[in-house]
Structure 1
Amino acid sequence: MNNVSTWMARDPDPTTREELQQLIDANEQAAIDDRFSSRLAFGTAGLRGIVGAGPNRMNRLVIQETALGLGTYLLQQVPDAAAKGVVIGYDGRPDSKQFATDTAVMLGSLGIHVYLTETVAPTPVVAFGVRHLNTAAGVVVTASHNPPAYNGFKVYWGNGAQIIPPHDSGIAAQIDIAAQAPLPDLTLSQIEPLGLLTPLGQGFYDQYRSALNNSPFLSNHTAPEAVSIAYTAMHGVGANLSEGLLADAGFTQVYSVKAQREPDGTFPTVNFPNPEEPGAMDMVIAEAKAHNATLACANDPDADRFAVAVRTEEGEYKMLTGDQVGVLLGHYLLSRVTPSEAMVGTTIVSSSLLEKIAKSVDANYFQTLTGFKWLTNVAMEKQTEQQPFIFAYEEALGYTVGSTVWDKDGLSALVAFAQLTAELAASGKTVWDRIEAIYREHGLYLNAQRSIALQPGSPPIGDALRANPPSAIAGRAVVRTDDLKISQRIHADGLVETIDLPSSDVLIYHLDDASRVVVRPSGTEPKLKCYYEVVEAMGHEDCLKHVQQRAEEAMADLIEKHQASLLS
Structure 2
Amino acid sequence: GGTSNTRLLGFYAFWLLSNPQTVALVQGLVKDGAVGELRRCFGSRMEFGTAGLRAAMGPGISCMNDLTIIQTTQGFCKYLEHCFGEGLKERGVVVGFDARAHPPSGGSSKRFASLAAAVFIGRGVPVHLFCDITPTPFVPFTVSHLGLCAGVMVTASHNPKQDNGYKVYWENGAQIVPPHDKGISVAIEANLEPWPESWDITCLSHKYYRTIQQHCHHRDINKSSEVKIVHTSVHGVGHAFVQSAFKAFDLRPPYAVEEQKDPDPEFPTVKYPNPEEGEGVLTLSFALAEREGATVVLANDPDADRLAVAEKQEGGQWRVFSGNELGALLGWWVYKCWKQTNPDQSTVKSVYMLSSTVSSKILRAIALKEGFHFEETLTGFKWMGNRARELLDQNKIVLFAFEEAIGYMCGSAVLDKDGVSAAAIAGEMTSYLAAKNTTLSQQLTAIYEEYGYHITKNSYFICHDQEVIRAMFDRLRHYGNQEDVSYPRQCGGVAITAVRDLTTGYDSNQADNKAVLPSSPSSQMITFSFSNGGVATMRTSGTEPKIKYYTELCAAPGNRYKHTKYYAELCAAPGNR
TM-score clears 0.5? yes
Asked if 1:554 corresponds to 2:570, the answer is yes
Gaps of at least 5 residues in structure 1 are 189-196, 564-568
Secondary structure at the aligned position of 2:21 is classed as helix
Of the three residues 9, 19, 31, the one matched with 1:13 is 19
Secondary structure at the aligned position of 1:477 is classed as strand
Asked if 1:514 corresponds to 2:515, the answer is no
Say whether the 8 Å CA contact 1:340–1:361 is kept in structure 2: no
Secondary structure at the aligned position of 1:518 is classed as strand
Say whether the 8 Å CA contact 1:534–1:554 is kept in structure 2: no
Q: Which amino acid aligns with 2:383?
A: W
How many Å apart are 1:445 and its aligned residue? Answer: 1.7
Alignment of 1:392-471 (within 5 A): 392-441=401-450, 442-451=452-461, 456=468, 458=471, 460-461=474-475, 463-464=477-478, 467-471=485-489
How many Å apart are 1:554 and its aligned residue? Answer: 3.0
Q: Which moved more, 1:529-538 or 1:16-25?
A: 529-538
Residues 354-401 of structure 1 show CA distances to partners (whole Å, capped at 9, x for unaligned) of 212221212100001100000111122235766411100001110000
Identity across matched positions, percent: 34
The match for 1:38 is 44
Residues 485 and 187 from structure 1, CA distance in 2 versus in 1: closer, same or farther, beyond 3 angstroms? closer
Secondary structure at the aligned position of 2:219 is classed as coil
Q: Which moved more, 1:52-61 or 1:266-275?
A: 266-275
User: Within 1, Cα distance between the matches of 2:415 and 2:251?
Assistant: 26
Asked if 1:379 corresponds to 2:388, the answer is yes
Of the three residues 162, 167, 183, the one matched with 1:149 is 162
User: Within 1, Cα distance between the matches of 2:220 and 2:513?
Assistant: 46
The match for 1:49 is 55
The match for 1:349 is 358
Say whether the 8 Å CA contact 1:364–1:387 is kept in structure 2: no
User: Within 2, Cα distance between the matches of 1:167 and 1:176?
Assistant: 15
Q: Which amino acid aligns with 2:517?
A: L
The match for 1:87 is 94
Alignment of 1:145-544 (within 5 A): 145-179=158-192, 181=193, 183-188=194-199, 197=200, 199-201=201-203, 204-213=204-213, 215=214, 217-221=215-219, 223-224=221-222, 225-252=225-252, 254-278=254-278, 279-336=280-337, 337=339, 338=345, 339-383=348-392, 387-441=396-450, 442-451=452-461, 456=468, 458=471, 460-461=474-475, 463-464=477-478, 467-485=485-503, 487-491=505-509, 499-504=515-520, 505-520=524-539, 528-535=547-554, 539=558
Residues 8 and 433 from structure 1, CA distance in 2 versus in 1: closer, same or farther, beyond 3 angstroms? closer
Secondary structure at the aligned position of 2:385 is classed as helix
Secondary structure at the aligned position of 1:324 is classed as helix
Residues 556 and 411 from structure 1, CA distance in 2 versus in 1: closer, same or farther, beyond 3 angstroms? farther
User: Within 2, Cα distance between the matches of 1:525 and 1:386?
Assistant: 37
How many Å apart are 1:353 and its aligned residue? Answer: 1.9
Say whether the 8 Å CA contact 1:35–1:57 is kept in structure 2: yes
Alignment of 1:46-125 (within 5 A): 46-79=52-85, 80-94=87-101, 95-125=108-138
Q: Which amino acid aligns with 2:257?
A: V
Secondary structure at the aligned position of 2:275 is classed as coil
Residues 522 and 238 from structure 1, CA distance in 2 versus in 1: closer, same or farther, beyond 3 angstroms? closer
Residues 236 and 548 from structure 1, CA distance in 2 versus in 1: closer, same or farther, beyond 3 angstroms? same
User: Within 2, Cα distance between the matches of 1:561 and 1:341?
Assistant: 47
Residues 306-347 of structure 1 show CA distances to partners (whole Å, capped at 9, x for unaligned) of 011111112332100001001111122222325444110111
User: Within 2, Cα distance between the matches of 1:417 and 1:293?
Assistant: 15
Residues 507-556 of structure 1 show CA distances to partners (whole Å, capped at 9, x for unaligned) of 2111011111112369999985432223456638x77xx97565334334
Secondary structure at the aligned position of 1:325 is classed as helix
Q: Which amino acid aligns with 1:308?
A: V
How many Å apart are 1:425 and its aligned residue? Answer: 1.6
User: Within 2, Cα distance between the matches of 1:490 and 1:547?
Assistant: 26
Say whether the 8 Å CA contact 1:126–1:140 is kept in structure 2: yes
Secondary structure at the aligned position of 1:223 is classed as helix
Say whether the 8 Å CA contact 1:128–1:160 is kept in structure 2: yes
Secondary structure at the aligned position of 2:254 is classed as strand
User: Within 2, Cα distance between the matches of 1:553 and 1:386?
Assistant: 47
User: Within 2, Cα distance between the matches of 1:449 and 1:281?
Assistant: 19
Residues 328 and 533 from structure 1, CA distance in 2 versus in 1: closer, same or farther, beyond 3 angstroms? same
How many Å apart are 1:452 and its aligned residue? Answer: 7.4
Q: TM-score, normalised by structure 2?
A: 0.87
How many Å apart are 1:139 and its aligned residue? Answer: 0.7
Q: Which amino acid aligns with 1:186?
A: E
Say whether the 8 Å CA contact 1:446–1:552 is kept in structure 2: no
How many Å apart are 1:562 and its aligned residue? Answer: 5.5
Residues 130-173 of structure 1 show CA distances to partners (whole Å, capped at 9, x for unaligned) of 12222111111111111210111111111111111111111111
Q: Which amino acid aligns with 1:451?
A: F
Residues 145 and 416 from structure 1, CA distance in 2 versus in 1: closer, same or farther, beyond 3 angstroms? same
Give aligned pairs, total. Answer: 541
Say whether the 8 Å CA contact 2:502–2:515 is kept in structure 1: yes
Residues 471 and 461 from structure 1, CA distance in 2 versus in 1: closer, same or farther, beyond 3 angstroms? closer
Residues 488 and 468 from structure 1, CA distance in 2 versus in 1: closer, same or farther, beyond 3 angstroms? closer
Residues 443-501 of structure 1 show CA distances to partners (whole Å, capped at 9, x for unaligned) of 2422223337587484734643571122212111112222334545424xx95565431
How many Å apart are 1:222 and its aligned residue? Answer: 5.5
Q: TM-score, normalised by structure 1?
A: 0.89
How many Å apart are 1:240 and its aligned residue? Answer: 1.3
Say whether the 8 Å CA contact 1:488–1:496 is kept in structure 2: no
Say whether the 8 Å CA contact 1:518–1:531 is kept in structure 2: yes
Residues 65-117 of structure 1 show CA distances to partners (whole Å, capped at 9, x for unaligned) of 01101111100101411221111111111211110111011111222111111
User: Within 2, Cα distance between the matches of 1:366 and 1:175?
Assistant: 35
How many Å apart are 1:175 and its aligned residue? Answer: 0.8
Residues 474 and 25 from structure 1, CA distance in 2 versus in 1: closer, same or farther, beyond 3 angstroms? same
User: Within 1, Cα distance between the matches of 2:131 and 2:210?
Assistant: 19
Q: CA RMSD in A?
A: 2.7
The match for 1:192 is none
User: Within 2, Cα distance between the matches of 1:134 and 1:384?
Assistant: 14
Say whether the 8 Å CA contact 2:297–2:309 is kept in structure 1: yes
Q: Which amino acid aligns with 2:529?
A: H
User: Within 1, Cα distance between the matches of 2:115 and 2:167?
Assistant: 14
Q: Which amino acid aligns with 1:360?
A: K
How many Å apart are 1:298 and its aligned residue? Answer: 0.8
User: Within 2, Cα distance between the matches of 1:262 and 1:523?
Assistant: 29
Gaps of at least 5 residues in structure 2 are 102-107, 340-344
User: Within 2, Cα distance between the matches of 1:55 and 1:223?
Assistant: 54
Say whether the 8 Å CA contact 1:126–1:139 is kept in structure 2: yes
Residues 523 and 219 from structure 1, CA distance in 2 versus in 1: closer, same or farther, beyond 3 angstroms? closer
Asked if 1:136 corresponds to 2:136, the answer is no
Residues 549 and 233 from structure 1, CA distance in 2 versus in 1: closer, same or farther, beyond 3 angstroms? farther
